[in-house]
Amino acid sequence: MTPDPIDSPSSTAIEQLQAFGLSTYASRMYVALLRNGVSTARGVSEVADVPRTRVYDAAEELLENDLIDVEEHSPKHFDPVPARDAIRKLRQEYRYREATLTAVLSMLEGENDDESDVRTVTGRAEVVDCLVDVVRAATEEIILVTDGTPLSEDLLNTLSEAAEDGIQVRIVGDGGGNGDGHDDAIATHIPDVETVTRIPETTDIPDGKRLLVDGTQAVVTVSVGRDRSIDPTLAVWGTGERNLLVEMLKDALTEWFDDETVSASRSE
């Protein structure tokens, strides 16, 4: 039974960290460091109920997950990343797993459907190329959901070319939102773009950049690591009107636009 978060914040935090995949000792160590600050292996063992012989194993696990920094003193000192950074990292891991699960479930569901296909693309440059290629294939409508990170110049130029060719371009989000010119980039490249700036908090689709083209091709990207200002490292690309990823995006996007229309309406 989950303890009352108010009565047992440490126990609850440890339990939830374990649910995200951390070991018991790593979870205890991170929570102890967050409560008590920088500590040595001896200090961790004393306050975190982690055997001295297992502290370095737990530290290695936390280091691999970007949840602590190690100060090379003698002895070593372990410094927890702030809670905000830890939550962001765990959220990104969840998004990565969700996107991967969406990909493999789409593959399984589409094995008997000749019109449905799903692929994964890894690597920053490759993900950008994937988004650009799918946009270039559009003939009717492009809907792009941004995630607060800038759109690449190649993607902006391709969206602009599509709009000039008479393809409807719709943007959900702000294209950057960090006040350094990215908010203006979309308006500059695509003056007549239709936008929805407020994204509903509740959605059935993975977070990240999300692209729906002609109601038959969908791409979801995932950024991994602390720095979300750089291009994402994984994309799941689904094709076919009955593809799981395509259907999920259609269902959500239909709710985000006032006219409740999405190109190539979902087949019943």
Q: For residue 36, what is the domain's CATH number?
A: 1.10.10.10
Q: Are strands 168-172 and 117-122 parallel, antiparallel or unpaired?
A: unpaired
The proportion of the chain whose per-residue pLDDT surpasses 90, expressed as a percent, equals 34
Q: 221, 234 in Cβ contact below 8 A? A: yes
Phi and psi at residue 70, to the nearest 5°? -110, 125
The tally of domains found in the chain comes to 2
CA distance 178 to 45: 42
pLDDT for the residue 241: 81
Residue 263 covered by a domain: no
Rg over CA atoms, the chain: 22
Instruction: Among 81, 99, 119, give the residue marking a domain's end.
Output: 81
For residue 191, pLDDT over 80 is answered with no
Instruction: Among 23, 58, 81, give the residue marking a domain's end.
Output: 81
111: domain CATH number is: 3.30.870.10
pLDDT tens digits along 47-64: 998 999 999 999 999 999
Same structural domain, 98 and 205: yes
Please give the average per-residue pLDDT across 122-131, as a whole number: 88
Instruction: Among 49, 81, 113, give the residue marking a domain's end.
Output: 81
Same structural domain, 34 and 68: yes
For residue 170, pLDDT over 90 is answered with no
Partners of 10 in the β-ladder: none
For residue 30, pLDDT over 80 is answered with yes
pLDDT for the residue 97: 76
Same structural domain, 141 and 217: yes
- Per-residue pLDDT band at 73 (split at 50, 70, 90): confident
- Averaged pLDDT score across all residues of the chain: 78
pLDDT for the residue 69: 93
Domain holding 49, by residue range, is 9-81
For residue 202, pLDDT over 70 is answered with no
